[in-house]
Structure 1
């Protein structure tokens, strides 16, 4: 009996150490992705501002089409499955793994490498894309690979391991371990097996801690300067409905190619994917030029300025250009997420309308409300959206208002569009023969 217990204990510890080692590798991979993405964006803005005195900034009009065409060609040729956000792939892989079907075409080390490298190439062209969703696919790919290193293939269900990997990627990318756990339950898998919950939750947390150890315990968009948030009810209602409507339309537009593949534009995209990406690059450059460069990249810099209070307002066109640029970026087929751009749309929406709607005195907290509201409307994961924003900006004093605006936005959005990631995941599932 003692021998049996000793073997069982050794088996459990080998399982834990394997998973924790994989989680640490996932955290390091996400940190590397962050560094490369920041370098790509910094390089783009340096090149785009080389000749600021010229009336027509030509650099983005060259970089964006070339980067888009190269990214789509590389993805289709060497890294199929790496296109888009990455979260739909993780959801689809989780479902397939639960049925015992292969998932190597959705999560693998090859795809993880492509997601990082090609995703950074797209950012080098100024596309409005984020790295947070792709980080979920990167981390899930690493933990999926780790499954073959476990002492027994049945130690952890492959579907649960993929779920934990996707959540670990979110936790490490946003520096929000709690949000990673909530995201695993609310969006990725909507379930966890009781016998493995402790190990998987510790895996998610460890990935986030590794990222913190390397990057430091920072707040993703800085620390919010809020002394008092008065008149909370009216702004929450107004911006909950506004963000819900705009986010629902945004989500419905993202699903347009999947829902209506016979539309002439999507037929041409299917026949000429590389050329289509080049055209999207031109549109991204044009929108960026018209909007004074506010729609280029992930939106991290502009959002940080608004959240920190260094700027209390944004021009009226800031949310419009970011909205359009993110849609076009997604349609192009490059590897890139919509988390950070959605937060940027929300921040710009709040900062550009708070004075018009008579809420200028609460400009900074309203920026945060719109970030949570718009993200909740797009993803229809309201608890995750509220917690992500709360943890990212150190806005714990706003937790109730963030939850309220996210729930209202989600309720409105759900009347306009189905769940975005769940619907996109259907596109990666085997289709029944017609």
Structure 2
């Protein structure tokens, strides 16, 4: 005779849950560190805005002074980074991916993620914004928050069930959630870019930690979207051609951008500039900083910094950015990354995509320019990162564009597909390069002018 399964005993299960005090202590540690990770990104955000504000003050007081200020500060940042904080260079996302690699030698994780690197990343990225470089803080926020979350390990039991892998995934995704004020984007980023899957026994705790970190940003800056609310008109068949054009243009351009960055940062390009960068990285950084300053002057200041102000202007219909903004921002962002300063490409990529959307809107459909700008942002970010779900959700949450969910999703998917035909995944390529060049601590080059390992 078949007996029906017993119904769950609520009181028994509740007593069982509450009786394990150590389990609840471990959970509390993870959530407290998630809050700390979110607050560290909030502090990073405030410092970054303060640093770029100083640059804007200097630029407003004396435009020509930046021809000395930007190259000098860029060279100083690269010298400090290479001499003392080599693991802080670049975006920060490849470092977290390298730290998550199961083949990483024991004890080498701190070379990519640690509290020391968290503090260095915040300070050096802020200095980069103070120099007016075309960098963002969102990618670095991944490494910043992961370094905080990793520190929770010393308070957890070895058999707590919360592995280093889970802590790093939670921390990296918490960085995206807090930086963009977009908790859902953080969860998707954890699955799509960092882990591919969440540990089933801790998935609830990991997601809670990510959302909690995102709430730290909401509690500080308010429940507001990054670029405000886009007023999207009803999109009919007349929007199909310009929308498709934006997605294809961003997919091709983003693929070229990712391939160019990968070749430049891994040293796989045999050109004389790469050889010069390898032999004299600080001098190369000074020259790159000078080029970025000149580009900024030519663009009337629109290419300096992350590009958020330019995107806001485009969305508001204030065409104050130059007609060559996309090209100039593209070059300025590439040069900043090539110099080796700590800084990300998320925000600059969004501004480049917005520029593509704005340019195509002027030529084809000015009445839906805001929608095409949003499509360009999602498409270019998806093409560069080859993480289309994360890209479209970030843009959707940043502009409160829920009416454009399908349009943003399709543009991101199409652009990512086209980019994959042009370039390997950027962050995975850079992470593989870092792991391939990993050396024992005793043999690490201390001198800033020594060639990079090839």
- Give your verdict on TM over 0.5: yes
- Residue 47 of structure 1 aligns with which residue? 58
Cα 1:164/1:242, change in 2 over 3 Å: same
Match of 2:174 among 160, 163, 168: 168
Match of 1:18 among 29, 34, 38: 29
Superposition pairs of residues 145-164 of structure 1, within 5 angstroms: 145-152=151-158, 154-164=160-170
1:28 aligns with 2:39: yes
How many pairs does the alignment contain? 426
Cα 1:264/1:96, change in 2 over 3 Å: farther
Kindly provide the CA deviation profile for residues 111-146 of structure 1, in whole angstroms up to 9, marking residues without a partner as x.
001100011111111100000000000000001111
1:264 aligns with 2:262: no
Give the superposition deviation at 1:73: 1.1
Give the superposition deviation at 1:188: 1.2
Cα 1:416/1:166, change in 2 over 3 Å: same
SS of 1:285's equivalent?
A: helix
- Residue 383 of structure 1 aligns with which residue? 389
CA distance in 1, matches of 2:302, 2:129: 14
Give the superposition deviation at 1:105: 0.6
Q: Is the 8 A contact 1:15 1:155 kept in 2?
A: no
Structure 1 residue runs of 5 or longer lacking an equivalent are 52-56
CA distance in 1, matches of 2:418, 2:254: 9
Superposition pairs of residues 248-259 of structure 1, within 5 angstroms: 248-257=255-264, 258=266
1:136 aligns with 2:147: no
Match of 1:279 among 282, 287, 295: 287
Give the superposition deviation at 1:67: 1.4
Give the superposition deviation at 1:9: 2.3
CA distance in 2, matches of 1:70, 1:35: 22
Q: CA RMSD in A?
A: 2.1
- Residue 322 of structure 1 aligns with which residue? 329
Q: Is the 8 A contact 1:96 1:103 kept in 2?
A: no
1:305 aligns with 2:313: yes
SS of 1:344's equivalent?
A: helix
- TM-score of the aligned structures, taking structure 1 as reference length: 0.94
- Residue 65 of structure 2 aligns with which residue? 59
CA distance in 2, matches of 1:413, 1:310: 29
CA distance in 2, matches of 1:19, 1:5: 21
Q: Is the 8 A contact 1:19 1:143 kept in 2?
A: yes
- TM-score of the aligned structures, taking structure 2 as reference length: 0.90
1:414 aligns with 2:397: no
Give the superposition deviation at 1:107: 0.5
Greater C-alpha Rg: 2
1:93 aligns with 2:99: yes
Structure 2 residue runs of 5 or longer lacking an equivalent are 1-11, 440-453
SS of 1:127's equivalent?
A: coil
SS of 2:435's equivalent?
A: coil
SS of 2:220's equivalent?
A: helix
Kindly provide the CA deviation profile for residues 296-341 of structure 1, in whole angstroms up to 9, marking residues without a partner as x.
000011112222x242574321111111100000000000000000
1:84 aligns with 2:95: no
Give the superposition deviation at 1:152: 3.2
Superposition pairs of residues 147-296 of structure 1, within 5 angstroms: 147-152=153-158, 154-230=160-236, 231-257=238-264, 258=266, 260=268, 262-296=270-304
Q: Is the 8 A contact 1:24 1:207 kept in 2?
A: yes
Q: Is the 8 A contact 1:244 1:408 kept in 2?
A: yes
SS of 1:304's equivalent?
A: helix
Q: Is the 8 A contact 1:248 1:378 kept in 2?
A: yes
- Residue 332 of structure 1 aligns with which residue? 339
SS of 2:111's equivalent?
A: coil
Cα 1:8/1:70, change in 2 over 3 Å: farther
Cα 1:6/1:217, change in 2 over 3 Å: closer
Q: Is the 8 A contact 2:313 2:320 kept in 1?
A: no
Cα 1:340/1:204, change in 2 over 3 Å: same
Q: Is the 8 A contact 2:230 2:400 kept in 1?
A: yes
CA distance in 1, matches of 2:60, 2:295: 16
SS of 1:129's equivalent?
A: coil
Give the superposition deviation at 1:352: 2.2
Give the superposition deviation at 1:263: 3.2
Give the superposition deviation at 1:147: 1.2
Cα 1:430/1:10, change in 2 over 3 Å: farther
CA distance in 2, matches of 1:106, 1:94: 10
